[in-house]
Amino acid sequence: MVLKVYGPHFASPKRALVTLIEKGVPFETVPVDLMKGEHKQPAYLALQPFGTVPAVVDGDYKIFESRAVMRYVAEKYRSQGPDLLGKTVEDRGQVEQWLDVEATTFHPPLLNLTLHIMFASVMGFPSDEKLIKESEEKLSAVLDVYEAHLSKSKYLAGDFVSLADLAHLPFTDYLVGPIGKAYMIKDRKHVSAWWDDISSRPAWKETLEKYSFPA
Amino acid sequence: NMVVKLFGQIKAGNPQRVLLCFLEKGIEFEVIHVDLNTFEQKKPEYLLRQPFGQVPAIEDGDLKLFESRAISRYYATKYADQGTDLLGKTLEQRAIVEQWMEVEANYFNVVVLPLVINIVFTPKFDVALVEELKVKLDKVLDVYENQLAMNRYLAGAEFSLADLTHMPGMRYIMNEAGLGSMITSRENVNRWWNEMSARPAWKKLMEMAAY
């Protein structure tokens, strides 16, 4: 039984997809129609009780939360593909640190920008200009920290690409694309170089090619 | 001095996650007080340690780390064979612990943190926002109530890091935030909190914090 990822067309599931592709793990995807409220139906809630994507089913085993799935895949398939957790316990500590920074500090303001710029009209709520401005300022301050850090470190956790870098791909792709704020990345020399590097990885290109939202 | 140094304040929520982890694992530590009241965490010397200006940070010989959950994962991994087993025994068990740790960060803390900041620390807080957040917290706790009806702890039969990371926020809910009824009205969430807060490591932390 092949591992299944639910909701591949959306951003969060792409954290799991890019990790699976990097590690050369076979998988299938199952579309989830958010517009039709499929994520609130009992069949889906049995897989993910909060009604969000992704959910993953691996034989008899179920797991949700994209970053938990990343860790699971990276650990289970440690011996194949790039080592996305680093070589030592200390390396892994740095990976965990920056993976948590992505979740607690980078993602929240970027999520606000995503919802209010890309999805407000589609989801039927008024776009909050004040929140957009505050979120951009917060994200800008975070990116200043990243710029200083990446001037001393090739990737977030050290000289190796890791889960921490990959976790940034899906929503930063929105930031430089449909959100229309590519300057936040491009105006920062080291952040820009890091972004060019990780976003040109074949696994990410394949993720976008196969699972971008149908036009 | 080979003991790990924890930079932060014993009464602050994020450092408490790490302190609890140390206490559960029997890891010796030293607390270096960072005065949040005078914004010491935003000063240049501290920013060298934690560039986002937050507590906690640790220093253990040459190793420096920040983000309380990452620090906890590191020590729970490094000292897997010592003290309480916080990560489960198999890859599959650990992944479920990771899943509920993510839930704590992405669903629980995202509402509890602004609730606490408003109710406890903001003199004239936004009443509408607090009501909105309480509705969201209710929905999250309904999922927990269901999960804990089938499992003694979030990730299964044993206490893990996934339960531990909730404890500082739960303490605020039960105490200063005055939202204890959201817990006591839910049979399984109430049982879960009562069991966790009876643990010796938690009692030791409460002693240290001297509320």
User: pLDDT digit string (tens) for B28-58?
Assistant: 999 999 999 899 999 999 999 999 999 999 9
Q: What is the mean pLDDT of chain A?
A: 96
End-to-end CA distance of chain B: 30
> CATH top-level class for A3-81?
alpha beta
Contact A75 B94 (CB under 8 A): yes
Query: Which one is predicted more confidently, B96 or B124?
Result: B96
Between CA B44 and CA A90, with CA B50 as vertex, the angle to 5 degrees is 140
Average pLDDT, chain B: 97
Instruction: Please list the residue range(s) of chain A that carry CATH number 3.40.30.10.
Output: 3-81
Q: Which residue, among A47, A73, A94, A97, would best test binding to B if mutated, counting the most B CBs under 10 Å from its CB?
A: A97
As a whole-number percent, the residues of chain B with pLDDT over 90 amount to 97
Q: Do B78 and A64 touch (CB under 8 A)?
A: no
Element (DSSP H or E) covering residue A28: strand A27-30
Q: What is the average pLDDT across A188-211? A: 98
**Chain B partners within 8 Å of A142 (Cβ):** 52
Per the structure block, which two tokens stand in for A139? 């994200």
Contacts of B96 in chain A (CB under 8 A): 63
pLDDT of the residue at A121: 85
Q: Amino acid identity of A83?
A: D
List of chain B residues whose C-beta atoms are within 8 Å of the C-beta of residue A69: 95
Every domain range in chain A assigned CATH 1.20.1050.10: 89-205
Task: For an interface test with B, give the residue of A100, A138, A191 to mutate (most B CBs within 10 A).
Answer: A100
Residue B140 reports pLDDT greater than 90: yes
Task: Indicate yes or no: CB of A101 within 8 angstroms of CB of B110.
Answer: no
What is the tens place of the pLDDT at every residue in A80-103? 999 999 999 999 999 999 999 999
Whole-complex ipTM: 0.89
What are the distances in angstroms from CA A22 to CA A65, A105, A202, B39, B79?
19, 25, 8, 42, 30
- For the entire predicted model, the pTM comes to 0.94
How close does chain B come to A110, measured CA to CA in Å?
A: 14
Is the separation of the CB atoms in A16 and A54 below 8 Å? yes
Integer Cα distance of B180 and A100 in angstroms: 29
Cβ pair A78, A140 in contact under 8 A: no
Chain A: give the shortest CA distance to residue B174, in Å.
Answer: 23
- Copy the structure tokens of residue B150: 């089938």
Q: Cα(A17)–Cα(A1) distance, rounded to whole angstroms?
A: 17
Kindly state the average pLDDT of the residues A64-77: 98
Decide if A71 and B147 are in contact by the 8 Å CB cutoff: no
Q: What is the pLDDT of residues B150-199, one digit of tens each?
A: 999 999 999 999 999 999 999 999 999 999 999 999 999 999 999 999 99
Q: Report residue B136: phi and psi, to 5°.
A: -65, -45
Contacts of A97 in chain B (CB under 8 A): 65-67, 70-71
Residue B1 has a pLDDT of 63
Closest residue to B105, CB basis, from A90, A104, A142: A104
pLDDT in tens, A41-58: 999 999 999 999 999 999
Residue A126 has pLDDT above 80, yes or no: yes
Architecture in CATH for domain A89-205: Up-down Bundle (1.20)
Give B80's contacts (C-beta < 8 A, 6+ positions apart). Answer: B87
- B107 interaction partners in chain A (CB closer than 8 Å): 50
> Nearest CA to B189 among B142, B156, B157?
B142
Residue B60 clears pLDDT 80, i.e. is over it: yes
A215 has a pLDDT exceeding 70: no
- Let me know if B55 is exposed, middle or buried by CB neighbors in 10 A (0-12, 13-18, 19+): buried
* Closest residue in chain B to residue A78, using alpha carbons only: B91
pLDDT value of position A35: 87
Looking at chain B, the whole-number percentage of residues with pLDDT higher than 70 is 100
* Span A140-173, pLDDT tens digits: 999 999 999 999 999 999 999 999 999 999 999 9
| pLDDT number for residue A1 | 86
Identify which of B63, B74, B103 has the shortest CB distance to residue A65: B103
DSSP 8-class letter at A117: I
Q: For residues A189 and A30, is the Cβ–Cβ distance under 8 A?
A: no
Q: Which residues of A touch B67 (CB under 8 A)?
A: 96-97, 100-101, 104
Nearest CA of chain B to the CA of A164: how many Å?
12
